[in-house]
């Protein structure tokens, strides 16, 4: 099994909310076989805790609502205390906590999000998010290598990523 797990998730029928699925599908096409396990999912579920427990690095890709449309963010994901009952809205933090509670494993994890512009019914990404998708794919492809490693955390715009020296 690959040591890197990439989970792209969202609702492909709500325009930009489908970003994670679009990204996962593209990454499945461009990543060399065996480099990573890539999943395209509607939502995060408790069953993923076992899959997460086998990874050394987990990248979670989703659309966000913070920032300017098309702005990309990469933030570390920690675990969260499990004192609330499950709902059908599992956060990345709770997913990692489940991996720790059930399997004793806490992989390094990052959430990569792009601020969406349109969450209306539709299968197409908005122009600003569609423009950022190839930048996001390149960012993930190079995540473990320089210069991407130097900008793993915090808010990063596609322009900042594109300007990084090779």
- Tell me what pLDDT residue 146 has: 42
**Hunting for tokens 């990454």 — which residue is that?**
27
Rounded CA separation 5/54 (Å): 9
Q: Once rounded to an integer, what is the mean pLDDT over residues 93-100?
A: 92
- Tell me what pLDDT residue 163 has: 34
pLDDT band for position 90 (cuts 50, 70, 90): confident
pLDDT of 86 over the 90 cut: no
Strand partners, 41: 9
130: domain CATH number? 3.40.50.1450
- Tell me what pLDDT residue 33 has: 85
pLDDT of 99 over the 70 cut: yes
Contact at 8 Å (CB) between 128 and 157? no
Rounded CA separation 135/157 (Å): 10
pLDDT band for position 88 (cuts 50, 70, 90): low
Domain count for the chain, please give it: 1
- Tell me what pLDDT residue 34 has: 87
2-57 per-position pLDDT tens digit: 699 999 999 999 999 999 999 999 999 999 988 899 999 999 999 999 999 999 99
For residue 95, report the phi and psi dihedrals to the nearest 5 degrees. -60, -45
108-164 per-position pLDDT tens digit: 999 999 999 999 999 999 999 999 999 999 999 998 654 344 344 444 544 444 333
For residue 98, report the phi and psi dihedrals to the nearest 5 degrees. -60, -45
Range of the domain at 84: 4-162
């Amino acid at each position: 099994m690959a040591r890197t797990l990439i989970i792209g998730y969202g609702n492909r029928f709500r325009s930009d909310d489908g970003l994670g699925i679009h990204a996962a599908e593209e990454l499945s096409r461009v990543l060399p076989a065996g480099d990573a396990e890539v999943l395209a999912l509607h939502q995060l579920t408790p069953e993923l805790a076992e899959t997460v427990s086998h990874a050394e690095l987990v990248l979670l890709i989703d659309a966000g609502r913070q920032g300017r449309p098309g702005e990309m963010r990469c933030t570390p994901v920690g675990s969260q205390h499990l004192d609330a009952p499950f709902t059908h809205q599992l956060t990345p933090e709770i997913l990692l906590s489940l991996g720790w509670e059930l399997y004793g494993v806490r992989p390094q994890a990052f959430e990569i999000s792009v601020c969406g512009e349109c969450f209306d019914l539709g299968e197409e990404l908005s122009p600003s998010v569609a423009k950022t998708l190839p930048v996001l794919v390149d960012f993930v492809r190079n995540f473990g290598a320089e210069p991407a490693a130097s900008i793993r955390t915090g808010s990063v715009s596609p322009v900042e990523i594109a300007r990084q020296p090779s």
